[in-house]
Amino acid sequence: MADQFGCFMAYRLPAHLHRNRHGVLYFRLTVPAHIQAKIGQREIYRSLNTASVREAARAAQTLAIAFRAVFRELGREGMSEQEKTAQTRWEEFIQLPDLRLRLKNAGMQVALEEQQETLVQQENEIVNLKERHERDLEVAAMVKGVSVAPATASSRKTISEVWGAYKAEKIAAKAWKDGEDTAKYDHWPHIRAFIEIVGDKPIGTVTAEDVDHFQQQTLTNPDGGSSSNRKKRLERTGALFRWAKTKRQLTDDFRELFRFPGKIEEKHYLKFEQADLTALFESEDYQRHLFKTPSEYWLPLLGLFTGARLNELCQLTTDDIGNHEGVDTISILDEEIGKRLKTTASRRIIPIHSQLIQLGFLEFLGAASGRLFPELPENKARPGDFGKEPSRKFTDYRRQVGVGTDKYNADTGKWNGRSLKVFHSFRTTLISALRKAGVPKDRRTRLAGHEYEDTQDRNYAGGDVLTMFSMNMLKDDIERVSYEVGFAAYSTVSDRQRA
């Protein structure tokens, strides 16, 4: 069991179980001395792919019964018996009660696979027999201590070549929302990291040791980022290997080695409290109009009154500001080339809060055209992303006015800890204010651009989801939100310039 700090407390595990340093439980069984020479190993040690003692204990008990039966059989055999075909040996092995095992070229591991479904599918009978024969050969090779090298032509394709085919299939099937961009920025960096560590070798020759080395590098690299990023690296790379296995390009996808060990504690962003809002919007910078660019003034206010994500606001154009049903609105859409949204559900039209109008937002637009904030640079490594620089500037600003959960260390001159109050907290703040004002969840979901939990809402049959609710109704909802803050109207002239 884990203590309050997520560490595993020491206690005696049930028989045949061992926990590694990542918390994953393994099955462990000593091979009888008189059998060791026959199978070429002294101990059975295989991952059970779980940190749950209850689950692992059940699996270990089944495995222990099965292996002991095999040991008894091998112990009764004479030399002639050892010449039995691998197929006969395997068929006898899988007849043991309640056993669900699959032997792979990397060794024995527990596999929770149901065989019945494939057996009743007559159209797949030939394929199933072929796969069973290949597994029999692997068993024979393992028992004799011989490694079997994949012989198919496709298995000789390098990792980068397999990646090319994988990417092409995903893009053709429209499985990746942004096509080439998704491949280039969300998947390829992880595959490239794998290649840099193990080499661009034929994918069929990748070993468990290669993948284990990659996993350890991913988990321990000091520049590897957050736990979520490390988990994503393992998952994205593992997806390529699982795909390659479906194409018969390898026999083992090393699924258990591409899993992130343990659980990642989710840290949700906190909403801004009244004191935070006062510090942010009644600061000298706002009251005396000291911001250097319009985006520094408007982005926090737009975040507070629309709940939009930072990049959704950064990529707005004047065409996104319009009027629907007599209501001034901001459209968060991805219909223009180069725009990126987090999900399809993010598409929405938000009524402009009267407070923004009073502060001069519509006058700020004036006769301008194009992007609202052309001063924001695009991230060269991620087309359509304009949020990197304003995110950095807002972080500096909130620290300047004393908002955030990170702390400054005067001795090192650095900030310690990760703040849970960031620009995204404006989104959390608005949603909380809508809830407090009594706005129903379905309309809060639409205003925030969240995915609907209800299937009927997700598959709205009444037309475009953008028109699910009347704009006047949403306008009334957004106007229920108010903050006790002395906002200063927008001005292009600072107090310093006036002086």
Query: CB atoms < 10 A from the CB of 147, how many?
Result: 10
| 371 pLDDT higher than 70 | yes
**Helix, strand, coil shares of the chain as percentages rounded to 5?**
50, 10, 40
CA distances from 358 to 28, 150, 367, 485 (A): 71, 71, 18, 14
Place of tokens 């009764």: 76
pLDDT of residue 264: 60
Overall pTM > 0.85: no
> What span, in angstroms and rounded, lies between the C-alpha atoms of 253 and 452?
34
Between 63 and 97, residue with greater pLDDT: 63
| Stretch among 82-86, 180-184, 328-332, 346-350 having the lowest mean pLDDT | 82-86
Mean pLDDT for 402-428 is 90
CA dihedral (11, 14, 15, 16) in degrees, to 10, reads -90
Mean pLDDT for 397-420 is 90
Domain range 154-258, CATH class:
mainly alpha
| 423 pLDDT higher than 60 | yes
Residue count of the chain = 499
pLDDT of residue 491: 86
Q: Which residues contact 297 (CB under 8 A, 6 or more apart)?
A: 286, 289, 291, 490
β-partners of residue 331 are 349
Percent of the chain past pLDDT 90, that is, above it, reads: 36
pLDDT of residue 113: 38
What is the pLDDT confidence band of residue 68, given thresholds at 50, 70 and 90?
Answer: confident
Mean pLDDT for 389-418 is 91
| Domains 154-258 and 274-498 agree in fold | no
Place of tokens 């661009």: 200
| 50 pLDDT higher than 60 | yes
Cβ(195)–Cβ(163) below 8 Å: no
Sheet holding 321-324, edge to edge: 321-324, 327-332, 348-351
pLDDT of residue 87: 40
**Tens-digit pLDDT profile for residues 277-318:** 999 999 999 999 899 999 999 999 999 999 999 988 999 999
What is the pLDDT confidence band of residue 374, given thresholds at 50, 70 and 90?
Answer: very high
| 492 pLDDT higher than 60 | yes
| 416 pLDDT higher than 80 | yes
pLDDT of residue 326: 93
Most confident of 60-64, 185-189, 272-276: 272-276
Mean pLDDT for 201-215 is 91
| 11 pLDDT higher than 70 | no
Most confident of 5-14, 224-233, 357-366, 451-460: 357-366
Tokens of 307: 């709940």
pLDDT of residue 362: 93
Task: Give the domain ranges of the chain.
Answer: 17-143, 154-258, 274-498
Between 321 and 127, residue with greater pLDDT: 321
What is the pLDDT confidence band of residue 72, given thresholds at 50, 70 and 90?
Answer: confident
| 181 pLDDT higher than 50 | yes
Architecture of the domain defined by 274-498: Orthogonal Bundle (1.10)
CA distances from 307 to 60, 181, 452, 470 (A): 50, 26, 17, 19
Instruction: Residue 299: name the closest of 323, 281, 284 by CA.
Output: 281
| 31 pLDDT higher than 70 | yes
Query: CB atoms < 10 A from the CB of 313, how many?
Result: 27
**Tens-digit pLDDT profile for residues 89-135:** 544 554 444 444 443 333 333 333 334 444 444 444 544 555 555 55
Q: Could you please report the per-residue DSSP string of 267-318? A: -PPPPPPHHHHHHHHSSHHHHTT--SSHHHHHHHHHHHHH---HHHHHT-BG
Give the side-chain half-sphere CA count within 13 A for 351: 23
CA 145 to chain centre: 39
| 471 pLDDT higher than 60 | yes
> What span, in angstroms and rounded, lies between the C-alpha atoms of 160 and 223?
24
